[in-house]
Structure 1
Amino acid sequence: MKDKLKVAVVQDSSVPFDAEKTARKACHLIEEAAINGAELVVFPEAFLGTYPKGLTFDSPVGKRLPEGREDYLKYYNGAVEIGGSEISDIASVARENNIFVVMGIIEKGGSTLYCTVVFIDPEKGVVGKRRKLMPTGSERLVWGFGDGSTLDIVESELGAIGTVICWENYMPSLRAAMYGQGVEIYCAPTADDRDTWVSTMQHIAMEGRCFVLSSCQFLKRGDFEEDYRCTLSDNPEEVLMRGGSMIIGPLGEIISGPVYNENAIIYADIDSDTLVKSKLDFDPVGHYSRPDVLSVHVDKEEKKAVYY
């Protein structure tokens, strides 16, 4: 990892179902983070492509209604492709501002949507992606399942950067897969704004002896159009996601945040020496592991429905 590094976490909302406008908004936020000295910036889960909070897609058990299919069409049309113009524009701004971007997107993969995170290097452009392995609850209706082929961390000039998305962070084996690759900057884009998320992030930072950067949207009902069929509220001022973004050090200490109920970019200066010092008494895949008793097998092969 680079000796000293300033990092940023964005807490803001998408422009729901409008990828072009959201990309423009993201570009402005990236520029702001860079102006304030950040060399890496993390965005929330599904920022580019929309997190459809409170939408049911009219899919009760045993039935799918036509209105829900219309909602899915709108959702699909607002998603993005890795090689599309929105990602290209963000990569250009990253290059112009010399800042590494970790961006939560809804990715089109054929006719299936994936909750994905893309890694954008300022010099090389898109250098990796992570598809969410396990969508949570009803997310499984509208998002496909990732596989082990996107579990690689990204080795960059800033350090070893990895991403675990939202409730994947409660999967011990997946965390181990990140630790085993030597993750130094552990990014956790999320839609979880619960109080318990703070202790989860602190635990992971201390368990993995890594820096944890967690980013969540601050999202109101009024950020959606009036005809958005949200089951949670019709009040434009109702907060659907309150944020809670934060940056945690490798001994579980809160460096910045959590911030609630406002748009913000939070910053922290991090130091590679802290990583080394934290491992004096604990290294989860080194001197504090017992591979003779416990180990994790990771299958990194891409899984396809049809092989030719």
Structure 2
Amino acid sequence: MNRNDLLGYVDDVRRIVANGDINKAIILHFDLMMGTYQQRPLFYKHILKFDRFMVAVALLSFSFENPKMPLSRVKDFCRDRDYMSSNSLDSLFSFFETTGFMDIFTYEEDGRQRLFRPTSTAQTAAKNLIHAYVKPSEDMSPGWRGLASLALPHNYVSYYYKGFAKVLDANVLLGHQRPDEKWIMNRDGGHLPMLALYVDNLRNPGSKADQKVATYSNLSSRLGVSHTHIIRMIKEGESRGYFRCNKHQVQLQPEFSELVRRVMINIFAIARVSIELGAAHLGSPN
């Protein structure tokens, strides 16, 4: 599938997802993500920032695509996509190694090259995150021929990342086209602070588009990020028209709800397409 065909297919899946119960899917996604996040909040708040997360999924995708992929190739790819600078990438690779996310070792056939492999810890984390991305959209369109017909294995990490490698190669990703989406996700905790505000609003009986939800302190405590970080995010969102601030409470504006739904529709669509592409490529699990 060439890039134009892939773009067209992702758009088709977006429309399917958009016609489902997106709010129900968002709530389930948020709950699943928080279940994983709270196991290692310091780790996840660091890697879920959009640019860092893209580096992490690039490492996993390239590893499943080619176990002998040099680390330098992944570094060049991420730098060329402007995810991070060379120095920042080196620091992040070291962080992944010290936190048990990946092993880095010298290539026996060429001592100048370093290879890498995701650890069992990384694969467990990846499986949990993939589940949080894929599961919420399964019931959104029961008649859809996609995931329901795949009969995925229990461990479908290889499916997802082999497919996601194709999405990466085609550069069909969130944030590349819309800076406003990347802005709110490229922070500590990634998209979870955004979803915490949105889901609080959904779960508030009789809520309205501008319902007051979640104090700064509450968000800071639940997500393990600093009070200052939350304030800065909200203040910047206010300047963009997404929030109104009233003392220590946040009022969501309709523009924010539209942003969240657009972001999550894209996330769910990319996840489903990745699984399909990987299944078509592998035929059967590794």
Quickly name the TM-score band, shorter chain normalised.
under 0.3
Higher strand share: 1
Q: TM-score, normalised by structure 1?
A: 0.25
Q: TM-score, normalised by structure 2?
A: 0.27
Higher helix share: 2
